[in-house]
Amino acid sequence: MKNKVIYTLFILIAIAALCNSFVIENPYFKITKKDVKLKIPKGFPKPNYTFKKNKLTPDVFVLGRKLFYDNLLSKDNTVSCGTCHQRIAAFAHIDHKLSHGIYAKIGTRNVPALQNLIWKDAYMWDGGVTSLELQPINPITSPIEMDESLENVILKLRANKEYVKLFNKAYKDTLINSERLLKALAQFTGLMITANSKYDKYMHKKDTFSIAEKNGLQLFRTKCAGCHKEPLFTDNSYRNNGIKMDTSLKDFGRGRLTEIEKDYRTFKVPGLRNVEITYPYMHDGRFKKLKDVIDHYSNSANHDDRADTLINKIGVLSAQQKKEILSFLLTLTDKEFLYDRRFADPAMLQ
């Protein structure tokens, strides 16, 4: 009798174990401790956001990844962060001038790449958001982006069995609140670090530049690096780079925020890494090609009268110089980042 009980128990356990092994995780999407270790690339400064009060763990990162790609964050469950921020475009929106949000509404600004965010001191084209953790409240609650309230997102998450499990796994208890939601998203976006381009390999003497690329770097250092400072290719300042205001959008940039005269029509200097694939360019996506951007900088006659003094110093670039700058910009593409499996959406490929 006793034997029978033990025997039945044994069978049951074996079945349970078998069942479990059928849902093996695809190793491509598995996140390990090593995957979430923060590595500061050689030559990079100290980051502004350090994860100090948001300890990086595989389970929180996985939760952040699921949230980033989940339409549940929008009111009618049609838009996720990943809708606008596409992995193949360094998390910019490829070939979209202005962002497209919920109910097919069109935003007023171009979707920026999400990369090296922890070195920024402020986010958005005008720097209005000063915390990586608090940034997602903007898209979630914007009536033309996701049009949802933070409160309601929390309610939806609490009612969702899978999220209850994931939050529990990540935080060791069942509490679901905005702090945890936002911190999980910050782990996912904060680890989007790009530092393995040809330029980086050249700088660390692991690759070589062609003559054109070398000349391009030289030109870039004299004409562009005053704002696009290496190695992040931004000095985090706000400038007017000579583009005239689109009178239909009337975007005053930083000025709208600070109402300080000198800030009007200035925008945060974007880091140029992966710029080859983050087209179109500028806060309103007005330039389709890198060639158009370089032509703009060279064409001083057509610069806005509020252009920064460094812009006027660039001067006319010869056809040769333009080509060299372009070939240098192309060395900033980081394939390892663009194909980093940690940032892929597990739901897309299963």
Residue in 31, 90, 282, 332 binding ligand HEC, rule: CB under 6 A: 282
Contact call for residue 130 and other proteins (CB under 8 A): yes
Contact call for residue 138 and other proteins (CB under 8 A): yes
Q: Which residues pair with 266 in a beta bridge?
A: 253
Residue in 325, 327, 333, 334 binding ligand HEC, rule: CB under 6 A: 325
Distances (CA, A) of 147 to 63, 93, 299, 324: 22, 19, 41, 44
Name the CA dihedral angle for 146, 150, 156, 161, rounded to a multiple of 10 degrees: 110
- Packing angle of the helix pair 290-298, 319-330 (nearest 10 deg): 140
Among residues 237, 245, 233, the alpha carbon closest in space to that of 309 is found at 237
Residue in 154, 203, 225, 338 binding other proteins, rule: CB under 8 A: 154
118 phi, psi to nearest 5 deg:
-75, -10
H helices present in 96-160, as ranges: 137-141, 150-158
Contact call for residue 131 and other proteins (CB under 8 A): yes
Q: Which two tokens stand for residue 237?
A: 């300042």
- Partner that binds at residue 99, options ligand HEC, other proteins, none, CB closer than 5 to 8 Å by kind: ligand HEC
Q: Which two tokens stand for residue 308?
A: 């920064």
Residue in 25, 76, 95, 151 binding other proteins, rule: CB under 8 A: 151
Instruction: Supply the minimum distance, in Å, between the C-beta of residue 48 and other proteins.
Output: 11
Residue 163 or 287 having the CB closest to other proteins: 163
Residue in 25, 76, 179, 207 binding other proteins, rule: CB under 8 A: 179
Beta strand ranges found along the chain (DSSP E) = 238-239, 267-268
Terminal-to-terminal C-alpha distance of the chain: 46
The burial class, CB within 10 Å (0-12 / 13-18 / 19+), for 225 is middle
Residue in 54, 86, 135, 327 binding ligand HEC, rule: CB under 6 A: 135
Interface residues toward ligand HEC, by CB under 6 A: 68, 73, 79, 81, 83-85, 99, 101, 107, 109, 111-112, 114, 117, 120, 123-125, 135-136, 139-140, 145-146, 185, 189, 223-224, 226-228, 239, 241, 243, 267, 269-270, 272, 275, 278, 281-283, 290, 293-294, 297, 308, 310-311, 314, 325
Interaction site with other proteins (CB under 8 A): 53-54, 124, 128-134, 137-138, 141-142, 150-151, 154, 177-179, 182-183, 186, 257, 259
